[in-house]
């Protein structure tokens, strides 16, 4: 068996087209959804992510603002900006790029965002609504995108044995809740799970979100399982590239290594997993594009609820 590659970029494009259509409909009612993105410091990766979000807003017809604050910004100063954005009616979504500098109290920032504008879905009110299965929840973008992709490819969720590897508030926990609400039998695994490969081999669906480069090998995967790789890591040596990737991918990965000094790799080792899984998401081009698409969808959803209901 050789896994079929799930094209997250193509699914994301369909979601964005849906969002653009709705934005055009809202424009006829003189409503333009607005997203404010806040970044503290000059981390290059975070700058790229923020830039992508702003560009996507522009492409889909949403209003966007980018607030870039210096590295030395304090928690209190950031809280003051968040409160200003909470009060502005034309701003429907507020996103503070994570992670902020270490001296910032990120939990305080998240809880200061108006839950109705919490388009990341990290506020405790949205987390509680998700737990209840409420349609009012703004759902974290990455897990919501994974569900969209499974639905797009008509991969059965109801009745499936699903294993989520990772228990973060951003991906692991909300992912488990979404699968549970869709009638999957869900197991959450983490760094202290005993006999992890034995647990994951029983799964019909494996969601890898543990943050460890190429940790999930073919030994972890049962024949025919669907494998979704949420990880985003880097391989920086030729030896790693040849060990992690299938032969047909190695030339382009080595080219990326020469140009940039590294190439992206997820939590899954595709070289061995592709021979056991029925479906596999690539890195990049899998879950990543869906996250931004779902952010746009959340912003439109927030605008509709705040200004139309």
What is residue 47's predicted lDDT score, i.e. its pLDDT?
83
Percentage of the chain beyond pLDDT 90 is 94
Choose the catalytic residue: 120, 204, 229, 267: 120
Work out the pLDDT band at 43, boundaries 50, 70, 90. Answer: confident
Inform me whether the pLDDT recorded for 182 exceeds 90: yes
First to last CA, the chain: 50
Residue 246 to residue 274: CA distance in whole angstroms: 8
Average pLDDT over residues 280-293: 96
134-181 pLDDT, tens digit each:
999 999 999 999 999 999 999 999 999 999 999 999 999 999 999 999
Cα maximum dimension of the chain: 57
Annotated catalytic residue within 92, 97, 213, 301 = 97
Question: What gap in Å lies between CA 186 and CA 166, rounded to an integer?
Answer: 12
Q: Is residue 25 pLDDT above 80, yes or no?
A: yes
Per-residue model confidence (pLDDT) at position 297:
98
Q: Give the confidence band of 280 by pLDDT, cuts at 50, 70, 90.
A: very high
pLDDT exceeds 90 at position 255: yes
Q: Which is catalytic among the residues 53, 117, 173, 213?
A: 53
Q: Just give the CATH number of 29-115.
A: 3.40.50.10860
Packing angle, helices 141-152 and 287-307, rounded to 10: 110
The C-alpha atoms of residue 267 and residue 263 are separated, in whole angstroms, by 13
Per-residue pLDDT band for 220 (boundaries 50, 70, 90) equals very high
* E strands, 155-220, in order: 161-165, 185-189, 205-208
Residue 50 has pLDDT above 90, yes or no: no
pLDDT score for 261 = 94
> Is the confidence at residue 1, as pLDDT, over 80?
no
What integer is the mean pLDDT of 56-61? 96
Q: Is there a shared CATH topology between the 29-115 domain and the 141-288 domain?
A: yes
Is residue 13 annotated as part of the catalytic site, yes or no?
no
Determine the pLDDT at residue 15: 98
- Which candidate, 69, 123, 125, 55, places its Cα nearest to that of 100? 69
The CA radius of gyration of the chain, in Å to the nearest whole number, is 20
Mean pLDDT of 10-17: 97
Return d(Cα 140, Cα 173) in angstroms, integer: 10
Q: Encode 242-281: b = buried (16+ Cβ within 10 Å), e = exposed.
A: eebbeeebeeebeeebeeeebbbbbbbbbbbbbebbbbbb
Q: Answer whether residue 269 shows pLDDT above 80.
A: yes
Annotated active-site residue 92? The verdict is no
Q: pLDDT digit string (tens) for 233-250?
A: 999 999 999 999 999 999
53 flagged as catalytic: yes
pLDDT of residue 63: 97
Q: Answer whether residue 308 shows pLDDT above 90.
A: no
Rounded CA gap, 210 and 164, in Å? Answer: 9
Q: Residue 46 pLDDT > 90, yes or no?
A: no
Nearest to 122 by CA among 144, 102, 103, 101: 144
Domain ranges of the chain: 29-115, 141-288
Per the CB < 8 A criterion, the answer to whether 265 and 235 are in contact is: yes
What is the average pLDDT value for the chain, to the nearest integer? 96
**pLDDT band at residue 44 under the 50/70/90 scheme:** confident
Does domain 141-288 match CATH 3.40.50.720? Answer: yes
């Amino acid at each position: 068996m050789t896994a079929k590659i799930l094209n997250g970029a193509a699914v994301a494009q369909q979601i964005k087209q849906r969002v653009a259509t709705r934005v055009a409909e809202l424009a006829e009612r003189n409503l333009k959804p607005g997203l404010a993105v806040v970044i503290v410091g000059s981390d290059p990766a975070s700058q790229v992510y923020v830039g992508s979000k702003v560009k996507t807003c522009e492409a889909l017809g949403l209003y966007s603002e980018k607030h870039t604050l210096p590295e030395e910004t304090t928690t209190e100063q950031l809280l003051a900006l968040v409160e200003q954005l909470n009060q502005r009616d034309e701003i429907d979504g507020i996103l503070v790029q994570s992670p902020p500098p270490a001296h910032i109290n990120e939990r305080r920032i998240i809880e200061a965002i108006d839950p109705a504008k919490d388009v990341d879905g990290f506020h405790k009110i949205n987390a509680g609504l998700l737990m209840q299965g409420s349609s009012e929840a703004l759902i974290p973008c990455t897990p919501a995108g994974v569900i969209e992709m499974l639905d797009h490819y008509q991969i059965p969720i109801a009745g499936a044995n699903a294993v989520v590897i990772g228990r973060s508030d951003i991906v692991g926990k909300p992912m488990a809740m979404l699968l549970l609400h869709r009638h999957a039998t869900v197991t959450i695994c983490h760094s202290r799970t005993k006999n992890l490969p034995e647990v994951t081999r029983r799964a019909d669906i494996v969601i890898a979100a543990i943050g460890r480069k190429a940790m999930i090998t073919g030994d972890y995967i049962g024949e025919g399982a669907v494998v979704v790789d949420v990880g985003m890591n880097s391989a920086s040596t030729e030896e790693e590239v040849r060990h992690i990737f299938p032969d047909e991918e190695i030339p382009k990965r080595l080219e990326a290594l020469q140009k940039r000094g590294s190439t992206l790799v997820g939590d899954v080792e595709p070289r061995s997993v592709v021979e056991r899984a029925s479906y596999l998401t690539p890195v990049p081009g899998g879950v990543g594009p869906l996250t931004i698409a779902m952010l746009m969808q959340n912003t439109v959803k927030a605008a509709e609820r705040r200004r139309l209901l």
